[in-house]
Chains A and B, each alone.
Chain A
Amino acid sequence: MDSGSRISRRDFMKLATLGAGSLSLIAGCAPKHPPGRRVLSDDDAGLLGAIADRIIPPDEWPGGRENGVVSFIDRQLDGPYRRFRGDYRRGLDAMTGTCLEKHRKRFESLSAEKQTRLLGEMESGGLRDGGWKEGFSKRFFEMVRSHAMQAYYGSPRHGGNPDYASYRMMGIDYPPILGQNRYRF
């Protein structure tokens, strides 16, 4: 992919996003609906969004939160991932507990650096107290990590990755345009 075509595509997306933004302003005049979540509370969603942004940080492309990781997980917890509801409850509570104890702040309010350090400890199984007994921090981190990747890089039909943003980031046409790339070399 040469940089010229990526810039033009991005410009196109900016225009498209502007269009979408003005639509949502109109929608904002309508009566307020409850948030479209099925399982996660506002606090859960805030915490998971913050985790998602460390697992896939925002840069010139959206981070995990913006790219639908929370809505993906919320939707799957009411579907095939119903069996993980207990693990999410336990893990999110344990994270909040650990952060309040160590920093007197919720995870969402910590600096990105401290958030990353804490997630690194979870990944290596370094947290063992409270809700983290029996190697749960490692297992919980790996579960959230893989679900975040599924959301970010999977099909929009499951609640994440609206408009295939990650595909555009990786330079993969969606929908596929057959023949387009064959004559590049």
Chain B
Amino acid sequence: MKNTHVNAVVVGAGAGGGVVAKELSTAGLSVVLFERGDWVSFEDHDNDELLSQRTTVLGNAFGPDDDRYRRVLVSEDGSTGIVYPSDGAYSNVAACVGSGTVSYGAMAWRYMAEDFRMKSTYGPVGGSTLEDWPVSYDDLEHCYEKAEWEIGVAGDSSLNPFAAPRKKPYPMPPFSYNREASMLESAMKRMGLHPFPIPMLRNSVPYAGRPACARRRTCCGFACPVNAKCGTHNTVIPAALSTGNCELRTRCVVGGLIIDASGRITGVEYFDGDNTKQEQTADIIVVAASATETPRLLLNSTSKHFPSGVGNRYDWVGRNLQGHAYTGAFGLFEEDIFDDVGPGATLAVSDFSHHNPGIVGGGILANEFTRLPYLFSNIRPPGSPMWGEEHKEFQRKYFRRNIQVVGPIQEMPFFDSRVQVDPSVRDSWGIPVVRLSGRRHPKDAEGCEFLSGKAEMILKEAGASRTWRHVPGSGLSGGQHQAGTCRMGDDPHTSVTDRFGRVHDTPNVFVSDASLHVTNGGFNPALTIMALGYRVGEYIAGEWQKGNRFK
């Protein structure tokens, strides 16, 4: 049976796609929202650390599964191997309704004005494709505001002198500090820094018909048992469905765009939950499948008009894959600190986000989410035994007596860090899989050393009896903060989409996820992905209402 033609197809029900689906369906467009995963709830995995989104050793509670999905990783030495979703190197993003917004730590950062003008602020960086965004912070400000009010953010930016200017406050008051954050707050103030409560996509008070946070230790990496965490699955997607204009199709894997004889893109091909191949035609296609799966879909869509994939005329699709180099320090204390007030991370400083001597960009520093017991078993000072009596003694002595201060370094985009499609390996539907290759730009290591050094100084000031830094290696960055692979820009020779997310060379294909990010900020990216969703959705809906049918 043929599916009824709709105005818009949105591929991926995550942070970006959920917002676009809501914007289009409330504007009166008929929408089909595709999600390869399913609905998941807290009951599906409970408090199980080994199946959380942070520790995926026994699989991904939020999908995808190791049986049907795989990727190819090209290592730094040139060797290739298959990686599965539960391997870190797969660079997984959750496959479920809401995607990462179901299980994330829910930090709700706005990027700063400088983050959209990195090249203008710091000048060119050798070996990097560092560039300004074609949009400014001011262009996105109202989109950030919409995300904060429609999805829900708790915070108080008045305590952060470095925060970008805003027209409206957060809709909810900030969360209180846990004990470790209180200790860090005094230390940071003594150092002349400016600590403030982390803005969170989490209800600090009842909001939008959902209750306030219960402050569980199992928050980051888990679904919320009381529905206080705000994702697209419990805000904009239900809003889209309630318009009657949006149909959500779960367990549907979109494999390619349909391109007609004239080169027009008329819809998508997909496999439904019974693995039956189907087609869905639409006037507009919005790809919001993540910074790894979005380029895969474009590259897998070829025709005589798009011999190397849709939007890939100048070989920019899949380029500049970046994430965040997470860098920081641990401190051990000789008194109990752990108060079991979740999710752990409550306080940050933005003093090191920009204008650090010798560093391009920087990053926030925050206290870390609760380190659960298995994760903690891998945290030891350099040179310490990783097993035996001493390891066990450390586990029980210091679980309640450690603090981690950590932050994401803004990475320098690197043209050869990339997503391709593998010439031979296919997933269980026969679709060519993502092939990942590349490494971090050397400049990132300088940023990491700098930020970790600051984290260590803070821990010492807070009274740590022992501290040590941890910095990431030089390998390919992606992970849950993956971005940059379909960058927006005004010049079609050096970008994939225009400033509204429309793929160059097409009138009706849009991207709306972190693939668009030209640079990825020194902040967790979720709120920016949502803000871009509002921008793309607003643009399409506005044009549609003016009569533009994107022919």
Contact = CB atoms under 8 A, between A and B. Distances in A.
Interface stretch (B47-55, B110-118, B152-160, B410-418): B47-55
B374 A116 contact: no
A54 to B, nearest CB: 7
B42 to A, nearest CB: 13
A5 to B, nearest CB: 12
A154 interface: yes
Contacts of A148: 387
B138 interface: no
Interface stretch (A38-46, A97-105, A168-176): A168-176
B392 A170 contact: no
Contacts of A171: 396, 399-400
A145 B386 contact: yes
Contacts of B399: 170-172
Interface residues of B, number: 36
Contact of B215 (A1, A57, A61, A178): A178
B214 interface: yes
Given A176-B340, A182-B339, A80 B373 contact: no
A155 interface: yes
Nearest to A60: B396
B374 A145 contact: no
A54 B50 contact: no
Contacts of B387: 54-56, 119, 123, 145, 148
A32 interface: no
B336 interface: yes
Contacts of A154: 48-50, 373-374
Interface string B397-432: 001100000000000000000000000000000000
B463 interface: no
B400 A170 contact: yes
A97 B375 CA distance: 33
B399 to A, nearest CB: 5
B215 A167 contact: no
A172 B58 contact: no
Interface residues of A, number: 39
B294 interface: no
B258 interface: no
B66 interface: yes
B21 to A, nearest CB: 33
Nearest to A63: B392
A59 B392 contact: yes
A166 interface: yes
A169 B396 contact: yes
B377 interface: yes
B43 interface: no
A175 to B, nearest CB: 8
A111 B51 CA distance: 36
Given A1-B336, A155-B47, A176-B217, A166 B388 contact: no
Contacts of A169: 395-396
Contacts of B373: 153-154, 166-167, 170, 172
A127 to B, nearest CB: 17
Contact of A181 (B47, B50, B340, B378): B340
Given A54-B388, A80-B86, A178 B400 contact: no
Contacts of A175: 47
A149 B58 contact: no
B62 to A, nearest CB: 15
B335 to A, nearest CB: 9
A170 B396 contact: yes
Interface in A77-100: 79-80
A52 B367 CA distance: 33
A101 to B, nearest CB: 24
A170 B388 contact: no
Interface string B95-134: 0000000000000000000000000000000000000000
B50 A158 contact: yes
Contacts of B396: 61, 169-171
A79 to B, nearest CB: 8
A9 interface: no
Contacts of B395: 153, 166, 169-170
Given A57-B389, A80-B66, A153-B373, A173 B58 contact: no
B163 interface: no
A59, A145, A154, A158 interface centre (most CB from chain B within 10 Å): A154
A149 B374 contact: yes
B471 interface: no
B374 A150 contact: yes
A116 B216 contact: no
A76 B374 contact: no
B205 interface: no
Nearest to B378: A149
Contacts of A181: 338-341
B492 interface: no
A115 to B, nearest CB: 11
A157 interface: yes
A57 B377 contact: no
B388 A116 contact: yes
A12 interface: no
Nearest to A79: B58
A-B pairs with the 4 shortest C-beta distances?
Answer: A153-B373, A153-B374, A155-B48, A55-B387
Given A119-B387, A185-B339, 18 more contacts: A57-B388, A79-B58, A80-B66, A149-B377, A149-B378, A150-B57, A153-B49, A154-B374, A155-B49, A158-B50, A167-B373, A169-B395, A169-B396, A171-B400, A172-B217, A172-B399, A173-B340, A180-B340
29 contacts: A54-B387, A54-B388, A56-B387, A56-B391, A57-B392, A61-B392, A76-B58, A123-B387, A149-B374, A152-B377, A154-B49, A155-B46, A155-B50, A157-B48, A158-B50, A166-B373, A170-B373, A170-B395, A170-B396, A171-B396, A171-B400, A172-B217, A172-B340, A176-B216, A178-B216, A182-B341, A184-B336, A184-B339, A185-B339
Interface of B: 46-51, 57-59, 66, 86, 179, 214-217, 336, 338-341, 373-374, 376-378, 386-389, 391-392, 395-396, 399-400
